[in-house]
Structure 1
Amino acid sequence: MDASKTSSTTETSSPAGRFAAGADPVKREQIVDGAKRVFMQKGFDAASMNDITREAGVSKGTIYVYFDNKEDLFIAMVERERAAFLASLRTVLNDNDDVETGLRAFGIKFLEHLTDEKIVNAMRIVLGVRERMPDLCARFFRGPQNLRGVLQDFLTRHVEAGTLVIDDIDLASGQFLDLASGSFFKFRLFGTMPEAPPRPQIERVIHGAIQVFMAAYGAKKADPPSE
Structure 2
Amino acid sequence: MRRADPQLHQQRRLQILEGAERCFRSKGFHQASMQDIANESGVSMGLLYRYFANKEAIVVSFADSDSAELVSLLAEFAASSSPLELWPGILRRMLKEASEPDYVRITTEVFAEALRNPKLFESLVQSDDTVRRALIDAIKAQQSAGRMVAQLDPIVAADILMGMIDGVGLRACLVRQFKPRAIERHIQDLVRPWFVAPA
The TM-score range, normalised by the shorter chain, is 0.7 to 0.9
Check if 1:68 corresponds to 2:50: no
User: Does the 8 A contact of 1:104 with 1:207 survive in 2?
Assistant: no
Check if 1:203 corresponds to 2:185: yes
C-alpha separation between the residues in 1 aligned to 2:108 and 2:14?
24
After TM superposition, give the deviation of residue 207 of structure 1 in Å: 1.0
Q: Which runs of 5+ in 2 are unaligned?
A: none
After TM superposition, give the deviation of residue 50 of structure 1 in Å: 0.9
Rate the CA distance shift 1:89–1:24 in 2: closer, same or farther, 3 A. Answer: same
RMSD: 3.2
Instruction: Read off the aligned partner of 2:87 and give its amino acid letter.
Output: L
C-alpha separation between the residues in 2 aligned to 1:71 and 1:210?
38
CA displacement 1:83-118 (0-9 Å, x = unmatched): 334434544x26852343333433333234422334
Match of 2:138 in 1: 154
Identity value in percent: 22
What is the TM-score with the length of structure 2 in the denominator?
0.78
Instruction: Read off the aligned partner of 1:36 and give its amino acid letter.
Output: E
Rate the CA distance shift 1:84–1:154 in 2: closer, same or farther, 3 A. Answer: closer
Rate the CA distance shift 1:97–1:119 in 2: closer, same or farther, 3 A. Answer: farther
Q: Which runs of 5+ in 1 are unaligned?
A: 1-13, 222-227
- Greater helix share, structure number: 2
Match of 2:168 in 1: 184
Rate the CA distance shift 1:195–1:39 in 2: closer, same or farther, 3 A. Answer: farther
C-alpha separation between the residues in 1 aligned to 2:150 and 2:55?
46
User: Does the 8 A contact of 1:36 with 1:77 survive in 2?
Assistant: no
SS of the aligned residue for 1:27 comes to: helix
CA displacement 1:136-182 (0-9 Å, x = unmatched): 2332232177222232232222222123315753333223444x539
User: Does the 8 A contact of 2:17 with 2:58 survive in 1?
Assistant: yes
What is the TM-score with the length of structure 1 in the denominator?
0.70
Count of aligned pairs: 196
After TM superposition, give the deviation of residue 196 of structure 1 in Å: 4.8
Check if 1:105 corresponds to 2:92: no
Match of 2:122 in 1: 138
C-alpha separation between the residues in 1 aligned to 2:152 and 2:99?
31
Rate the CA distance shift 1:112–1:67 in 2: closer, same or farther, 3 A. Answer: closer
C-alpha separation between the residues in 1 aligned to 2:93 and 2:129?
17
User: Does the 8 A contact of 1:82 with 1:145 survive in 2?
Assistant: no
C-alpha separation between the residues in 2 aligned to 1:84 and 1:121?
22
Match of 1:171 in 2: 156
User: Does the 8 A contact of 1:35 with 1:56 survive in 2?
Assistant: yes
